[in-house]
Structure 1
Amino acid sequence: MNESAKHETVLDTGALQLGRVYAQALIGAAMKEGVTDDAIEQLGQLVDDVLSQHPTLASVFASPRVSQEEKSRILDSLLGDKVHPVLLRFLKVVAGRGRLGYLNEIRYSADELKNEMMGRVVAEVRTALPLTDELRQSVQQRLADKLGKDVVLKETVDPQLIGGLVVRVGDTVIDSSVAGQLESLSQRARDGLASKLIANADSFASGS
């Protein structure tokens, strides 16, 4: 399994529960028309490419002082024929219930539900340095062997991380034996990078 979830999210548990309810409704409606993948992908694009880049619009969606009618008008103007009608109708329902401020949580839960439907599990991996392609594949394979499922990695780089690597699946931190194996991989990757940096510095200093 070579897929990796790129979005990084810190979400409130209560908000996630609400998001999951709405995500289930979206997936249910999308499945009836055979557009589940499209609906989830387009929701992700709305969150990542539009709302994250235009915080004023996100604030309008979340504001209780902006009417349902105005929010629906904005959705029509913004999305129109750019998204599948199933998603547009869903967003208008969410707007009508005053929940457009939870689109991030709904999107997150929709991704999780899709992974569950496909027999995949999301593993959150925090590392001190970005994973290389080789290390990413090794981490995915070892986790897949441990969990007995295909694994999607949600990667976060934290330079302040002590120990180099933390792996979490749901509320569970992977046990020390597997985490230790992955940490060993991570350490070798850091050592390799350090060696290259030192070699480059030596080359620069010698003028070669």
Structure 2
Amino acid sequence: MLNIQLAKKYAAAMFELSQEKNKLALHDSQLAQLSKLFEDNRELKTFMDNPQIKSQAKKELMSQILTDSFDSEICNFMLLLIDKHRISLLSEIITSFHALSNEAQGIQIAYVKTAFPLTEAQHTTLLKKLETITAKTIQLKINIDSSIIGGVIVKIGDRLIDGSVVGQIKSIKKQLVANC
């Protein structure tokens, strides 16, 4: 619990700096790159999380990773996390930052489950419909799950829209049982 609170504080501080410098989208993108880098390279994460490795060695490695392609605020932020021994919270910090960034930019994530891959036309239609319903910019995170047989299940925030064949069968079953 304490780690989540700390992560949110660091994310909020970085978010405020990003807004102040008008670099919110840039920082969001670069933090996402770093998140992917740490996810893809378990050795890097293990090295950075190891308390027996001196901060200076971690900072040197991070400086090599964060070449000129990363904004100076991101570089300084990563070095600060190392100095404060908070680099192990990076994933949680980035998740919190991303949530703050999406909210500020009016972006909402829609988690979509379909039985089959969507065609381009279906993707566009679903995206436009969800943007109309929410009055926000939607980013789709699509998961293919053949167990729903057909249709689509959409989760946006606390809302769940179940238009799957399995969901409809369950609904009909529930109605039949209630009427008997």
Q: TM-score, normalised by structure 2?
A: 0.76
* Backbone CA RMSD of aligned residues: 2.6
SS of equivalent to 2:67: helix
Q: Which amino acid aligns with 2:116?
A: L
* Structure 1: runs of 5 or more not aligned: 1-12, 185-208
Is 1:63 equivalent to 2:63 in the alignment?
no
Tell me what 1:10 maps to: none
Residue number among 100, 105, 115 corresponding to 1:113 in the alignment: 100
Cα shift readout 1:48-78 (whole Å, capped 9, x = no counterpart)? 2x22332101111222222322221211122
Q: Distance in 2 between matches of 1:120 and 1:135?
A: 20
1:108-147 aligned within 5 A? 108-147=95-134
SS of equivalent to 1:60: helix
Cα shift readout 1:95-122 (whole Å, capped 9, x = no counterpart)? 2232222322322332222221122211
Residue number among 81, 94, 100 corresponding to 1:94 in the alignment: 81
Q: Which amino acid aligns with 1:107?
A: I
Tell me what 2:23 maps to: 35
Deviation at 1:81, TM superposition (A): 2.3
Identity %: 25
Tell me what 1:192 maps to: none
Tell me what 1:174 maps to: 160
- Contact 1:112 1:122 survives alignment (8 Å): no
Cα shift readout 1:158-200 (whole Å, capped 9, x = no counterpart)? 3445665332123x2424xxx32xx48xxxxxxxxxxxxxxxx
- Contact 2:111 2:154 survives alignment (8 Å): yes
1:152 to 1:164, Cα distance in 2 relative to 1, 3 A = same
SS of equivalent to 1:81: coil
Cα shift readout 1:122-155 (whole Å, capped 9, x = no counterpart)? 1111223333222222222222222232222122
SS of equivalent to 1:121: strand
Tell me what 2:11 maps to: 23
- The one of the two structures with greater contact order (alpha-carbon pairs below 8 A, sep at least 6) is 1
Q: Distance in 2 between matches of 1:65 and 1:165?
A: 49
Is 1:79 equivalent to 2:66 in the alignment?
yes
Q: TM-score, normalised by structure 1?
A: 0.67
Q: Distance in 1 between matches of 2:8 and 2:145?
A: 27
Number of residue equivalences: 165
1:130 to 1:101, Cα distance in 2 relative to 1, 3 A = farther
1:73 to 1:174, Cα distance in 2 relative to 1, 3 A = same
- Contact 1:16 1:109 survives alignment (8 Å): no
